[in-house]
Amino acid sequence: MTTSNPPVSSGPELSKRQINRAIIGVMTGLLLSALDQTVVSTALPSIVSDVGGLENLAWVITAYLLTSMASTPVWGKVSDQFGRRIVFVVATSVFIVGSALCGVAQEITQLIAARAVQGLGAGALYALALSVIADVVPVRDRGRYQGMVAGVFGIATLAGPLVGGGLVDAIGWRWIFLINVPLGLLSLVVTASALRGITAERRSRTVDYLGATLVIAATTPLLLYLSWAGGERGWTDPLALGLVAVTLVLSVVLVLVERRAAEPVVPMVLFKLRLFSLGSAYSMIAGLALFTGVVFLPVYFQAVKGMSPFTAGLAVVPTMMGVGFASIHAGNRMSATGRFKVFPVAGAVLLVVTMLPLGFIRADTPSWLIILLGFVFGIGAGFTLQPVITAVQGVVAPADIGAATAAVSFFQRLGSAVGVALLGAVLNSRFAALLEDRAGPAGGLDEASLGSIDAIRGLAREQRDVVVGAYGEALAAVFLTVVPFAVLALVLSLLMPESTPPEDGPAQDVPEKEKALDEER
């Protein structure tokens, strides 16, 4: 079992200046990867007009999502074996190359392929940022630093549409990708230099090639089902169900292989830890709820309230502020008290408190009320992003920090993907039903109006009122659908131990590990 292997010392103690440089470097890389999850959405109309390929446009987002999610556990494990520095250099380099290729793409196929390369590198940056902090920061200070990282991630994710809209209007869609090249190089140089004090070799460098292949092979059909088959072919289409069957079979094979691997990409022993298992499940549910606000609040402001993309981005600024404030506050309190459980519990409560009233909004609901609920939602999201990962890092062996961090991050991303696909289906079906009920006074409008906000704005007054009203109620149904998931997250948070008991394994020596690390530093 990997948790029984004592890790090699990570090298000499880093100075405060080196730590700060390392944190700034990895946060820059994290900022870029988080922005690129959502920055493309507002640029899609400009991309279509330039490179064409409307029928394949969804793949510009899906390709990035597929490769970034599927590669995350692999990057985390490899960084445990080869060291964070070399893996960060490789991953950031891949991200930079992918960004450059996106910026010079001349047709839609090239852009999709480049986005896949970009996502492959981005899959490492969030997990590596948190893992680097675990390497270079004393145990008692990790919460503070990781709170800042989580705040950057949350704010960047929400800010993507605003930044994308601004760049497209100012200098063109290609610069939403090309801007990553100089910023990525800056992150690469700063971080690689700051991490020289960490020894690259940590343990056996035997690479679990079969496990890595199976992780990607098992994840890809599920993401295709969620992002493509579910939307285009229907959830019960034979091909769609075949993708789910492939995922289930390959997942079983993955578990069997990883239980016998010398250096498994996903150490199965981690799931024996109660905090890791519950924390992963909680992160998946919280990821679903988090991206509801990220994706559908801006849609409400644009489609229902008639705001421009940039103005809608400004309307979610309070949500970003809530995420940043809560993440930093949670990190500081965790560092001061050593306790974490109150934050995932509070985060889940706030998700319920905000999603429930959002489930009853209409087209005439005051914008200030939606913005206020968005701010409270942001605080809840900030409490859910980081504390669980920091707590999990404290109960696994140091040699497994990268794998454990990447696994929890993977489940959070998986929840986001499931949420976007599932709730998108709820939006489509509810909107179609409402529109059918009101088709008489709307003059025979059909579901095609859903596909373009510009088309809604171009309708006659009577038709627009009907469509906007239906859209507002359909979005309310989306938010209401999240409430049971938020309640489930609350239950999971209450079941999580504040500190893992001895029978759960590696956590029993956590106090001794913390004391030894503090004495060493």
Predicted local distance difference test score (pLDDT) of residue 515:
43
Tokens of 276: 């890791």
Tokens of 461: 């007054």
Instruction: Write the CB contacts of 484 (distance below 8 Å, at least 6 apart in sequence).
Output: none
Predicted local distance difference test score (pLDDT) of residue 3:
41
**Angle between helix 401-437 and helix 108-136 axes, rounded to 10 deg:** 130
How far is 383 from 342, CA to CA, in rounded Å?
Answer: 9
How far is 409 from 79, CA to CA, in rounded Å?
Answer: 15
Residue for token digits 């070399």? 86
Residue for token digits 């445990």? 80
> What CATH architecture is 265-500?
Up-down Bundle (1.20)
Backbone angles phi, psi at 422, to 5 degrees: -65, -50
Predicted local distance difference test score (pLDDT) of residue 100:
93
Residue for token digits 């289930």? 248
Q: What's the N-to-C CA distance of the chain in angstroms?
A: 28
**Angle between helix 342-358 and helix 317-337 axes, rounded to 10 deg:** 160
Q: Which of 473, 475, 483 is nearest to 354 (CA)?
A: 483
CB-based burial of residue 141 (10 Å sphere; 0-12 exposed, 13-18 middle, 19+ buried)? middle
How far is 380 from 315, CA to CA, in rounded Å?
Answer: 18
**Angle between helix 59-82 and helix 401-437 axes, rounded to 10 deg:** 160
Instruction: Write the CB contacts of 116 (distance below 8 Å, at least 6 apart in sequence).
Output: 63, 64, 66, 67, 98
Instruction: Write the CB contacts of 295 (distance below 8 Å, at least 6 apart in sequence).
Output: 38, 420, 423
How far is 375 from 238, CA to CA, in rounded Å?
Answer: 42
What homologous superfamily is domain 15-198 in, according to CATH?
MFS general substrate transporter like domains (1.20.1250.20)
Predicted local distance difference test score (pLDDT) of residue 54:
57
* 99 close to 118: Cβ distance less than 8 angstroms: yes
The DSSP 8-state label assigned to residue 335 in this structure reads H
The DSSP 8-state label assigned to residue 306 in this structure reads -
How far is 455 from 468, CA to CA, in rounded Å?
Answer: 11
pLDDT means per 10 residues, the chain with 521 residues, are 39 64 76 74 68 66 78 80 82 91 87 88 79 73 71 70 73 83 83 66 64 82 70 70 89 87 78 88 86 77 78 79 82 80 91 92 88 91 82 78 80 79 79 74 50 63 77 88 92 81 40 41 39
Residue for token digits 């390709």? 63
Predicted local distance difference test score (pLDDT) of residue 197:
59
Q: What is the DSSP string of 198-267?
A: S-S--S-----HHHHHHHHHHHHHHHHIIIIIHHHT-TT-HHHHHHHHHHHHHHHHHHHHHHH-SS-SS-
Residue count of the chain, please give it. 521
How far is 249 from 181, CA to CA, in rounded Å?
Answer: 40
Tokens of 441: 């006074």
How far is 238 from 47, CA to CA, in rounded Å?
Answer: 33
CA 249 to each of CA 212, 253, 254, 264, 481: distance values in angstroms, whole numbers, following the listed order: 16, 6, 9, 19, 29
Q: Alpha helix locations (H) across 300-400?
A: 309-315, 317-337, 342-358, 367-385, 387-393
CA 278 to each of CA 248, 351, 388, 404, 449: distance values in angstroms, whole numbers, following the listed order: 21, 18, 9, 13, 42
CA 337 to each of CA 228, 379, 515: distance values in angstroms, whole numbers, following the listed order: 45, 20, 16
Tokens of 84: 């964070």
Predicted local distance difference test score (pLDDT) of residue 238:
81
Cα angle 440, 446, 450; round to 5: 130
Predicted local distance difference test score (pLDDT) of residue 101:
93
Q: Buried (b) or exposed (e) across 468-501, using 16+ Cβ within 10 A?
A: bbbbbbbbbbbbbbbbebbbbbbebbeebeebbe
Q: Which of 385, 476, 414 is nearest to 288 (CA)?
A: 414
How far is 450 from 412, CA to CA, in rounded Å?
Answer: 29
Predicted local distance difference test score (pLDDT) of residue 354:
93
Predicted local distance difference test score (pLDDT) of residue 487:
93
Q: Which of 2, 325, 269 is nearest to 150 (CA)?
A: 325
Residue type, 54: L
The DSSP 8-state label assigned to residue 302 in this structure reads I
Predicted local distance difference test score (pLDDT) of residue 98:
92
Predicted local distance difference test score (pLDDT) of residue 518:
43
Predicted local distance difference test score (pLDDT) of residue 85:
80
How far is 494 from 503, CA to CA, in rounded Å?
Answer: 19
